[in-house]
Structure 1
Amino acid sequence: MTATERRDEAGNRDRVRAAEEAVARLRAGLASVGVKLPSLGVDPVSCAGGESVPLVDLGRCSIETALRLSAQLEAKARHDS
């Protein structure tokens, strides 16, 4: 493995780690307002390949969860205005 390949691999690991940290932070923030997105995670397909660009997959949720999330967002918007 060349130095460039090792540097690219390290960069990919850093980007995946950053995506995992974003997911953890989002999960904690949502939990603090009573919302759980069961499928929340890092999209594994977006991490594949040479130069990955990891995506956060918000996933699927129940109607109840979607309504609770909407209510929290609406309350925050009212509070901020």
Structure 2
Amino acid sequence: MKKRTDHADRLGEAMAARDALASALTAAGIQLPAMDVRRAWAGEAPYALVHLGVCSAPVAHALAEALGRGAAR
């Protein structure tokens, strides 16, 4: 049963990370169209993945600009 808890914990961690990233992007005026969480373990891989999906060139530029502003702080 421990494996189920570990997988649930990993999935929960990835979902929390996705939600935090979505909130930060929203605060910066950016919305990615298809953020999701996907399982990465094909056995015992230690994580789940936050899938950011695809975005248009203008959204990619806005994301780059927001990251640049944050890095400049």
TM-score higher than 0.5 here? Answer: yes
Matched, 1:59 2:53: yes
Q: Give the percent of matched residue pairs that are identical in Structure 1 and Structure 2.
A: 31
RMSD: 1.5
Which segments of 5 or more consecutive residues in structure 2 lack a partner in the other structure? none
Larger strand fraction of residues: 2
TM-score by length of 2: 0.85
TM-score (ref. length: structure 1): 0.78
Higher Rg? 1
Offset at residue 29 of structure 1 (A): 0.5
Question: 1:15 touches 1:54 (CA, 8 Å); kept in 2?
Answer: yes
Answering whether residue 55 of structure 2 is matched by residue 76 of structure 1, we say no
Q: How many residues align?
A: 72
Instruction: Read off the aligned partner of 2:55 and give its amino acid letter.
Output: C
Is there any run of 5+ residues in structure 1 with no aligned partner, and where?
A: 1-5
Compare the two structures and name the one with the higher helix fraction: 1
Counterpart pick for 2:4 among 5, 9, 17: 9
